[in-house]
Structure 1
């Protein structure tokens, strides 16, 4: 049985879903996306994802083809039709189909696509117990990384560089400082203090990041938002990443060098527990 997907107002079997070859998402990567996690059939941080979606669309001067209320209903209907208990809901909105021109079309109708991915045991990822290994690579993405666009070619290349090096992911760097992972925000812990890059155009404003830092402060943990160097990361007591699909995931190795004692540290483990517990309470 194929998945049911949502395309421009219709629920369709995935094999029947079609988007124009002139869609600007295909021709120019002129589109944005969001990923919402699902635990126990409920959506985590939906409001945050909907708010960031609106911001991304606004930054690209793109109209929003769906209200927040209708978007929530589509998410829930896809979960129902695809019997998703644990998993992910992907949403992509492009500027729509128009004759190829670098200038934005004035009359294109936005394209909206949603689909699900089943991820049984999403909260019980075994890597949370062993930790992940990362390499560092030069950050060669465009300058507006705060907009969650579908321009993901270089992060994809970074994932492949990590795979070739026998690692799980890559941390991107500029001027010796870590920006973020290929699909996550990056953190180190030193002397009990959580350090992560401040918000700006250099990194994505992660929804999970926002929640985790709030939970950390509520738990009386120290948080410092500033750039940190690769050398600081290698000398850290702990390291971890956050994202909608991995929650809080410990990092135990950077460029072949062990972080701390090469096992997930107490801060990362505790934050993962808090995030999953609190997010389940507010899931809708």
Structure 2
């Protein structure tokens, strides 16, 4: 049975309880992070906690812990669970009030919750063949840079992919690429790696940063700029990236092949670099 952390106590996940008056339950009033763990080493923990701090500040939600306290809790959760590779889910809500009221309550303590799951990455057949995706209009709110628990729009968009037997929904807003429902999206055109710029319309992904760092390190031509919908549809390669999907090729979009319908050479090379980075940096070996 997995162990979680809830408001200062480590306990079995199945026994954890929160109030139905919690504003996370009533309003989606909270922030979260998902931290990958490789060989029991949390990856870029400082960057994840910094992103959490930015989200909390934007939500006007006091951060309940110092960075060193957060790090201690994360490491303790890792130690108390059995998997060598884990996915740590961390959530802070504004807490439980005595009545349902849209206005922020005064004197309420935040609810802090962390849990661990086994980190599951794409199977070999997906890496070899890529996955299918659909596209949709990005109808989410205008602060997609904040990692909040109010994810109903993302859930609807992700379910759209599931309903079509696909792995992801690629999102466009006003004719430009933003991201996926649960991933960042890269494309390759004429050997150049293209990424949409960080803005309030997309979540600044930690894996997004790693991919751009690897591109710079290995001399891959790349640009961070606005990407037109037509550029995505006629791209040589399209990838999705996240802490769980890593670097995964999208080989068809809306039932039309990307390139020749197989993972392209730039993506295959990036995946190899990423796996080497994971072995030497993330795992420390």
TM-score by length of 2: 0.94
Q: What's the counterpart of residue 281 of structure 1? A: 280
Of residues 109-118 and 71-80 in structure 1, the stretch that sits farther from structure 2 once superposed is 71-80
Q: What's the counterpart of residue 43 of structure 1? A: 42
Q: Secondary structure at the match of 2:26?
A: helix
Q: What's the counterpart of residue 2 of structure 2? A: 3
Q: What's the counterpart of residue 80 of structure 1? A: 79
1:106 positional shift: 2.4
Q: What's the counterpart of residue 222 of structure 1? A: 221
1:212 positional shift: 1.2
**CA distance in 2 between partners of 1:172 and 1:258 (Å):** 17
Of residues 223-232 and 174-183 in structure 1, the stretch that sits farther from structure 2 once superposed is 223-232
Closer, same or farther in 2 for the Cα pair 1:129/1:190, shift >3 Å? same
> Which ranges of 4 or more aligned residues in structure 1 deviate by more than 6 Å?
none
Count matched residues.
Answer: 282
Q: What's the counterpart of residue 186 of structure 1? A: 185
Q: What's the counterpart of residue 116 of structure 1? A: 116
Q: What's the counterpart of residue 176 of structure 1? A: 175
Q: What's the counterpart of residue 152 of structure 1? A: 151
**CA distance in 2 between partners of 1:127 and 1:38 (Å):** 22
**CA distance in 2 between partners of 1:114 and 1:240 (Å):** 30
Cα pair 1:234 1:258 within 8 Å, conserved: no
Q: What's the counterpart of residue 139 of structure 1? A: 138
TM-score by length of 1: 0.94
**CA distance in 2 between partners of 1:151 and 1:174 (Å):** 19
Cα pair 1:32 1:148 within 8 Å, conserved: yes
Closer, same or farther in 2 for the Cα pair 1:157/1:46, shift >3 Å? same
Deviations 1:39-90 (A, max 9, x none): 2222112121111111111111111112222222222222222112123110
Q: What's the counterpart of residue 262 of structure 1? A: 261
Q: Secondary structure at the match of 1:202?
A: coil
Unpaired runs of 5+ residues, structure 2, are none
Map 1:208-219; keep pairs closer than 5 Å.
Answer: 208-219=207-218
1:124 positional shift: 5.4
Closer, same or farther in 2 for the Cα pair 1:251/1:102, shift >3 Å? same
Unpaired runs of 5+ residues, structure 1, are none
Q: What's the counterpart of residue 246 of structure 1? A: 245
Q: What's the counterpart of residue 68 of structure 2? A: 69
Q: Secondary structure at the match of 2:56?
A: helix
Closer, same or farther in 2 for the Cα pair 1:158/1:67, shift >3 Å? same
Of residues 122-131 and 8-17 in structure 1, the stretch that sits farther from structure 2 once superposed is 122-131
Q: What's the counterpart of residue 104 of structure 2? A: 104
**CA distance in 1 between partners of 2:151 and 2:124 (Å):** 24
1:141 positional shift: 0.7
